[in-house]
Structure 1
Amino acid sequence: MNPAVKPPEQVLIVGCGDIGRRVARLWQAQDIPVTGLARHVEPLDEAGIPARVADLDDPASLSALPADGALICYFAPPPPRGDQDPRMQHFLQALDQQGARPQRMVYISTSGVYGDQQGGIVSEATPANPQVDRARRRYHAEQTLRQWGRERHVPVIILRVGGIYGPGRLPVRRIRKQVPMVHEALAPLTNRIHAADLAAICVAAARRGRADTIYNVSDGDESNMTAYFNSVADFLGLPRPPLIEMDEARQTLSEGMLSYLGESRRMDTSRLHEELGIELQYPTLQIGLEATCQNDRDEVRGTRDEGG
């Protein structure tokens, strides 16, 4: 396990969705001041997180960021189109204009930057090979941030994350609509992590991650996409999705889902455990779904269909 660095004096979270708010609460529990950067303050006010209103698409809004000497957790997604991430560029340019030098920066990327490995194992040494624009945008953000950190001697830690699941992140709507899935023998291998474990990993990466280092993030519980959808349906007491062949899937399923079905890989997470000392709260999908669904299965909501 790597030695821990000095705790941050303050934390700036850029992109305060579910994971950002979870991470904020973990730092606040350690009595460390947290500021959230977001377009709208209402969700942060409700969560008790001091907020700064800013729009990463509008560089003029990124003035006087509370970033100098702070730990920055950058969780904001790239724009929905293109193969680059101008939002990351705008944010880093704002730091330069203000002369701000963060203590460290942690960025959530995606396992999609590895592209299709035909079920092969990928370590952090595996060359990136993003094959769809959503992965190219993330890889561009990675490269931009890492280069910026090297030039300014700011430690940057990259987390390449598989599909995130947990409360509000289950494909409930899709299952209720009985959108089909391919037969399990045709389904790609997926890598997943529970949202609570990801939040804890973000904090561990900030405390123990090596500068300019990538960490694969997954629970290591091998599965495939159809088995995942079936497990969610079973836990919620819903009918499993109907099964179709790949030819029909190409005519029926969304472009986004087809892009997930076209990639298969298994993530080696040895570095995550050895260097960050991670012990997962939800090491298997079974345990994670039990925790997510146990309170009231009829009230579980989710709209995101994510790959890994």
Structure 2
Amino acid sequence: MVEKVCENVAIIGCGYVGRAVACHLQKQGHFVTATTTRKERVTELEEVAAQVVIMTGNDAKAVKSVVQNQDTCLVSLAPISTRQVDAEVYRETYIPTAENLVAALKENSSVKQLIYLSSCSVYGNKNGEWVDETFGVDTDNEYNQVLGEAEQILLSSVREDLSVCILRLGGIYGPGRELMKRLSRLAGKRLPGSGENVGFWIHLDDSVRAVDFARQHRFNGIYNLVNDLRWTYRELCDYVCDKQGLERIVWDASQPSFRPLNAQISNRKIKAAGYTLIHPQTIV
């Protein structure tokens, strides 16, 4: 596939991943429009985008305006909060944005590629089984219900001239979100569960490059985006604590795990599509 010299790309939601994608695409010469809900982030985003728009996804007119004359649209949302939010806040963040975007795309012929960043957590508890993109979404967890519903709303916009790609990401780590620092804060603490759930991770670099790969190759459908490492949380936390000479975490198997995902996530589909991981094994 021949890469266009320059595309117009709208990024709805410029948090950790969205901002990094904007920076990557702008360096390639693409015209990037970044959206944010916070006025105080405009100056920061102007460093990585040609245009910054303050908007919320529940503003249908704003969504319609931002996708005008775009070639690609990336949706990279997160609830606005510094703490864990309830499922209703999740719904208010994801569903109106998805619905308004689909409505806008019905009247838009310029957008050829829509990419939505979802999460592998949607699989929920599969009792440690291997799962791929054909498996159903967890309907017991309210957060996963919302993420799965948003996926289906966006997938409904597929048409002959519009590809829709859902990237289900593992836990994201990278600069500013180093796992060594994050997990070392748990040293010596007692945590619920056995710690035997396998953790699934993806480096920021791979998150960015996979988005660009999906854009260039006009991906359709759902793809898991996780690295090749298959460590349990216990193994990973023990490694981090031992490496820094810290007291290991104590796991309380009498208590249910606070992590809803319990499955082995396959990344074969995205590899078969031609994507090669930058950090297949690196974790810390």
Is TM more than 0.5 here? yes
Whole-Å Cα distance in 2 between the matches of residues 107 and 38 of structure 1?
Answer: 16
Contact 2:26 2:48 (8 Å CA) reproduced: no
User: Superposed, which structure 2 residues align to 1:247-286 within 5 Å?
Assistant: 247=254, 249-250=255-256, 258-260=257-259, 262-275=260-273, 277-284=274-281
Secondary structure in structure 2 of the residue aligned to 1:131: coil
Whole-Å Cα distance in 2 between the matches of residues 138 and 78 of structure 1?
Answer: 12
Q: Which residue in the other structure is 1:23 paired with?
A: 21
Shift of 1:59: 3.8
Q: Which residue in the other structure is 2:97 paired with?
A: 87
Name the aligned partner's letter for residue 170 of structure 2: G
Whole-Å Cα distance in 2 between the matches of residues 230 and 272 of structure 1?
Answer: 30
Q: In proportion to residue count, which structure has more strand?
A: 2
Q: Deviations over 1:99-122 (max 9, x none)?
A: 464121011111122221111111
TM-score, length-scaled by structure 2: 0.83
Shift of 1:145: 0.3
Name the aligned partner's letter for residue 87 of structure 1: T
Secondary structure in structure 1 of the residue aligned to 2:157: helix
User: Superposed, which structure 2 residues align to 1:193-272 within 5 Å?
Assistant: 193-211=202-220, 213-234=221-242, 237=244, 239-247=246-254, 249-250=255-256, 258-260=257-259, 262-272=260-270
Q: Which ranges in structure 1 are unaligned for 5 or more consecutive residues? A: 251-257, 290-308
User: Superposed, which structure 2 residues align to 1:37-76 within 5 Å?
Assistant: 37-40=35-38, 41-47=42-48, 50-59=51-60, 61-62=62-63, 64-76=65-77
Whole-Å Cα distance in 2 between the matches of residues 69 and 173 of structure 1?
Answer: 37
Whole-Å Cα distance in 1 between the matches of residues 186 and 195 of structure 2?
Answer: 21
Q: Deviations over 1:208-228 (max 9, x none)?
A: 2432x1111111211112222
Name the aligned partner's letter for residue 253 of structure 2: M
Greater CA drift, 193-202 or 3-12: 3-12
Shift of 1:23: 1.1
TM-score, length-scaled by structure 1: 0.77
Whole-Å Cα distance in 2 between the matches of residues 63 and 155 of structure 1?
Answer: 18
Q: In proportion to residue count, which structure has more helix?
A: 1
Contact 2:98 2:154 (8 Å CA) reproduced: yes
Distance 1:122 1:4, change over 3 A: farther
Distance 1:173 1:125, change over 3 A: closer
Q: Which ranges in structure 2 are unaligned for 5 or more consecutive residues? A: none
Q: Which residue in the other structure is 2:190 paired with?
A: 180
Q: Which residue in the other structure is 1:12 paired with?
A: 10
Whole-Å Cα distance in 2 between the matches of residues 86 and 240 of structure 1?
Answer: 45
Whole-Å Cα distance in 1 between the matches of residues 73 and 52 of structure 2?
Answer: 14
RMSD, aligned CA: 2.7
Whole-Å Cα distance in 2 between the matches of residues 45 and 210 of structure 1?
Answer: 28
Q: Which residue in the other structure is 1:254 paired with?
A: none
Distance 1:34 1:131, change over 3 A: same
Whole-Å Cα distance in 2 between the matches of residues 147 and 135 of structure 1?
Answer: 18
Secondary structure in structure 1 of the residue aligned to 2:261: coil
Higher relative contact order by CA 8 Å / sep ≥ 6: 1 or 2?
A: 1
Are residues 1:126 and 2:154 paired?
A: no
Q: Which residue in the other structure is 1:112 paired with?
A: 121
Distance 1:234 1:166, change over 3 A: farther
Whole-Å Cα distance in 2 between the matches of residues 130 and 263 of structure 1?
Answer: 12
Contact 1:175 1:238 (8 Å CA) reproduced: no
Contact 1:109 1:142 (8 Å CA) reproduced: yes
Name the aligned partner's letter for residue 32 of structure 1: H
Shift of 1:168: 2.3
Contact 1:273 1:279 (8 Å CA) reproduced: yes
Alignment coverage as a number of residue pairs: 270
